[in-house]
Chain A
């Protein structure tokens, strides 16, 4: 190690620059601050992501609840029971319209519960049946709607008189 004698002026020249030091320190601080900010944002996002996942799970549960309810309401067992409660029976005599050939097939006939071929109430097991249609003839009547099925003898109507042909529509 050598020790040299310097003038005060030279010694000042060799002294580290305050500016450079300040820039270095500020630079380091800025880098740390940026890193801190990024970390904060990332951490915040992680919590936000977690919240969103919890929300997604809650919504998925809600969808599942509604889906199962819809499944139950749409099941043939529920529909058969609901129709039966309203006094509906299946009518095997159907009438088909052939639009292309302007033909009517079959004769409409009213059906009553007594001579219906099929029991309309559900006879097929379904233990998954949860939500069911709640309306009945009496509950609908309570709402003020008229509950009745009127059968008209369409066989004597104008439709059947035109030699089994569908009357031409004025719109075509």
Chain B
């Protein structure tokens, strides 16, 4: 009996211990499985899961023909872990061969652009990180990777490549090494070009292999859109070639050329020399990294006379037959005077004659008859004194003082393009208005922004402004044609087979309180006159030893010829009307 009681006590104690143990385990079970289940599961997932940023690609910049001017490429930083550096074993014909660190360094050094000594210095030590080369291209990455060196690893980075280099570089702009857009269209249209990075989480096994069906995309990647320009890269390259040659020949500070399609207002080329290679903007002076065509204002000089003659015609102040007496030097009040660029007897000049001889006194004779408020309004309608719809960063509005602030000399110097500052862009579109029947269109540099799958995301709006009547514009173009038909310098702008209208300009450049001894020479013209297709405006800034615009016509002629040829414009079948007086006696003909 005693034994039975003792056994029962032991059994009871055992059962009690068992119950306590099971209870404790049960408590932990409920705690893990129910109370803290979510928290524990989350911790577990955290350990297994890996979050990865999915980099969005920046969109391309394309020219009018779809040629890529800027694209995103991958570059690679090459790194090593010196503490792991050691001999490399390779299987060669089934034989395991050992390569010493020095032997590997000799293979690697030329690929990394280092000397063997420098590379070995970088590989020495016991650290876990040593940067061997930054931003190597895909070909180099592939070559290094194929060496199969286990202690070399790579960081992939996206980078910007401009396959055509400095072609349209002044417009396209560039990005910093971390991909931040710094200038030009890259910066202005960043909203279109930049993508939105995505994020993905997945679980991985102890071996680092992704567990199937475990990935969750928390934010999808959205690649950037493509920016489609109106620029024709072939014409742009041609113009840049011509200008580079011109700047070199004339030792000029810079030169620019703009080609505008008359009917659409599209900029087909906006070339400059010197230009900037967006692949390496640091190689260019800071002054040459922007677009002078858009951002630089200068006193235009005589190219303004074609604008002034249109005002004279449009206001009915004079017609193509009226003449004024134009001396080579005209005294004015306050001891001021106007003089022509060459000495001559008194000419009897029509409006076409004024343009042909580029007479300052002649344009004064006609233009001063129009009140200055009216002229100011015309200048505004032509687009002077305000920025254009391009909204290009740093765009200059030029200088056109309010009419109430015009000085005594402003009143007449504006007629021949002094005392007023304009950009090449503004002047080209003033000529575009004359070529387009008196209607000025907003400049277009960007055709559209499209998503990677071709969906239209943005199309810039274009406004049209009636500046002068159609009859005035057409007649003014005929007057300008006389410059190329008979003008001393203008004749050199003629393009065989085509009727060309235009105007020369040799503008003085202000230096301090007066004018310096170098000029801004230019030629702005239109062709073909009977059905205008293109405006080409060439400006050469501060050429050495040049005192007239004769050096501006060869680049104009080359670029206009190329544009006409490139776009298959048939030669003119009509000729300049012979009834328009343009000679020094106010008569038609030579």
Contacts and interface: CB of A to CB of B under 8 A. Distances in A.
A46 B431 CA distance: 66
Range class of the A interface residue count: 35 or more
Interface string A135-160: 00000000000000000000000000
Most B CB within 10 A of own CB, among A94, A122, A123: A123
Which of A65, A77, A90, A125 counts the most chain B CB atoms within 10 A? A125
A119 B497 contact: no
Nearest to A131: B139
B245 A123 contact: yes
Contacts of B571: 96, 105-106
B240 interface: yes
A45 B209 CA distance: 11
B240 A124 contact: yes
B496 A76 contact: no
Given A68-B137, A75-B164, A126 B558 contact: no
B234 A50 contact: no
A126 B166 contact: yes
Interface residues of B, number: 47
B73 A76 contact: no
A96 B237 contact: no
Interface in B113-138: 137-138
Given A65-B139, A71-B161, A47 B209 contact: yes
B277 A106 contact: no
A124 B558 contact: no
A46 B210 contact: yes
A68 B277 contact: no
Given A118-B242, A124-B275, A49 B212 contact: yes
Nearest to A105: B571
Nearest to B141: A61
Nearest to B557: A117
Nearest to A119: B245
A68 B561 CA distance: 32
Nearest to B208: A50
Interface in B241-300: 241-242, 244-245, 248, 273, 275, 277, 279-280, 283
Contacts of B283: 125, 127
A38 to B, nearest CB: 11
Contacts of B275: 124-125
Given A49-B210, A68-B73, A96-B571, A75 B163 contact: yes
A65 B138 contact: yes
B107 to A, nearest CB: 19
B454 interface: no
Given A45-B212, A64-B74, A125-B277, A118 B164 contact: no
A123 B141 contact: no
Interface in A61-92: 61-62, 64-65, 67-68, 71-72, 74-77, 80, 90, 92
B165 A77 contact: yes
B164 A77 contact: yes
Given A46-B210, A46-B212, A125 B166 contact: yes
A62 B238 CA distance: 32
What are the 4 tightest A-B residue pairs by CB atom distance, in nearest-first order? A126-B165, A71-B163, A123-B244, A76-B237
Interface of A: 42, 45-47, 49-50, 61-62, 64-65, 67-68, 71-72, 74-77, 80, 90, 92-94, 96, 98, 103, 105-106, 117-119, 122-130
